[in-house]
Amino acid sequence: MSETFDYIVVGAGSAGCVLANRLTEDPARSVLLLEAGGEDDADEMHIPAAFSSLFKTRHDWNYETVEQKQLGGRRAYWPRAKVLGGCSSMNAMIYIRGNRADYDGWRDKHGAAGWGYDDVLPYFVRSEHNTRLGGPLHGTDGPLYVEDRRFTHELSQAWVDAAVAWGLKPTDDFNGATQEGAGLYQVTCRGGRRWSTADAYLRPALDRPNLTVRTNALAERVLFEGTRAVGVAYRRHGTAEVARTEGEVLLAGGAVNSPQLLMLSGIGPAEHLRELGLEVLVHLPEVGENLHDHPAAAILWQTRDTTDLADLATPGALLRWKLTGRGPLASNVGEAGAFYQVRTDLPDMQVHVAPSIFYDNGLREPSVSGFTAGATLVAPLSRGRLRLRSADPRWRPEIDPAYYADPIDLEVMVAALRHMIEIGTRAPLARLLAGPHLPTTHTLSDEDLAEHVRAVTQTLYHPVGTCAIGTVVDPELRVRGAEGLRVVDASVMPVVPRGNTNAPTIMVAERAADLIRGRTSS
């Protein structure tokens, strides 16, 4: 038995929820939304400061990379949300669009016609409901609430002031006319509570009779007649099911799951697929290639004469947050930061600072009161790839971001960590820092700092590129060599934007919905 829909969307994450909403605005079109995870009903999902407590739970795909040569053979843990709202239900909620040059580069260097900055800006604006900033660069009536965080620790503001004293300019809008500067991040929250794409896009559409949502539904392969996608085979609660479409299949599983599903369906590097006993439908060698991410490494201090965010998470703070949406639990942890240039004319470094000890993805309980300044490489040159380990859809794929494969990436990170140390000596931050925590001294050679980078580097949760525009999909996100099949998520980004990738992923889905429906941004 199978059902038939106009569109089947695979993945109810940051992109899939947008597609489900926008495509069902047309009451004549039916949409099936498949999500491998469950409902976004964990209390921790709605408390901004609790996001890292969701890692390695049932809401997490719990991926890890292959051994990374430049990280001393370590495997890096990659949290990816497995729940309605996807990573927008588990991220640090920082609202960053990227740099104008990112999108113009997609257009000019990667054949992504229609994806230049002036083309995509209307979709950022359309999606946004900013509670402080307005037009022409910001939206004020979109579904995605963006607000100034309702709690800021004194350490975060002190870091911004110290960074300005060090030489960065102050900014109150990283998404304005220019990206550079130091300041406090805006977040995708509403009244101090997380506002995911499940909140913004999916829930308002759930009452529409033309939308069907299936959770705990693991897509196993796309079904084809010839090279036309005609459905999806999936498994739900152990039962094999099939859904068919007379329109299109839209893959929105992200930079890991979308290329995995393409390869499981016979679209990808032919030799690799044959090695696993998979029938080759379309030889598309670039599927899974071009994998890259924003690596992050931090300097950590012990603090004095101040508080630690971790110590403020008390029952009283929880009650305050529940009643008012305020207090320390309204913190997104990564409260402040900066964009600046290390070796290029455009920002290649983003900073995330936290008023606590945060490293190893926040999985280690802080042993001291502390402060974290994390350097994030937002213009990495290194490229890796993703491959299948098995023809079984339940097997995790082989993930290799090839961190620091290009030695320039490591050089930039070392320089940035030296900058973090220097900023820590500036007022007013310096008086709140008792001394180094990790590394244990700041008298370090470049090689010492490089070893520290190798030891502490982690993902900033921004993988992209594995189904890139120009190689795997065309500028309308249609998979090359197939019909009725598109990819709509961060995997289509040929180059990662300079900044957090959630807002760009939502933009991709907003524009894709128009492409699918034959509309324009006006």
Residues assigned a catalytic role: 462
Helical pair 16-23 and 502-517, crossing angle rounded to 10 deg: 30
Q: Which residues fall within 8 angstroms of residue 319, CB to CB, at 6 or more apart? A: none
Question: How far apart are the C-alpha atoms of 378 and 351, rounded to whole Å?
Answer: 10
Q: How many CB atoms lie within 10 A of CB 340?
A: 20
Q: Which residues, in sequence order, are CB contacts of 199 under 8 Å at separation 6+?
A: 85, 190
Residue 98, by phi and psi: left (phi above 0), alpha (psi -120 to 50) or beta?
left
Q: What contacts 403, CB < 8 A, 6 or more positions away? A: 68, 70, 71, 76, 293, 295, 382, 384, 409, 457
Residue 206: partners with Cβ closer than 8 Å, 6 or more residues away: 213
**Residue given tokens 């030296």 in the structure block:** 418
| Residue ranges at the known binding site for FAD | 83
Structure tokens at 331: 């913190």
State how far the Cα of 5 lies from the Cα of 249, in Å rounded to an integer: 10
Burial zone of 94 (CB within 10 Å; 0-12 exposed, 13-18 middle, 19+ buried):
buried
Question: Locate tokens 């455009």: which residue?
Answer: 346
d(CA 150, CA 189): 9
Cα angle 242, 236, 88; round to 5:
105
First to last CA, the chain: 41
Q: CA 220, 225, 229, 232 torsion: positive or negative? A: negative
Q: Would you say 327 and 151 are in contact if contact means Cβ atoms under 8 Å apart?
A: yes
> Which residue ranges are tagged as binding site?
83
- Residue 22 CA: distances (Å) to CA of 27, 189, 266, 448: 11, 21, 29, 51
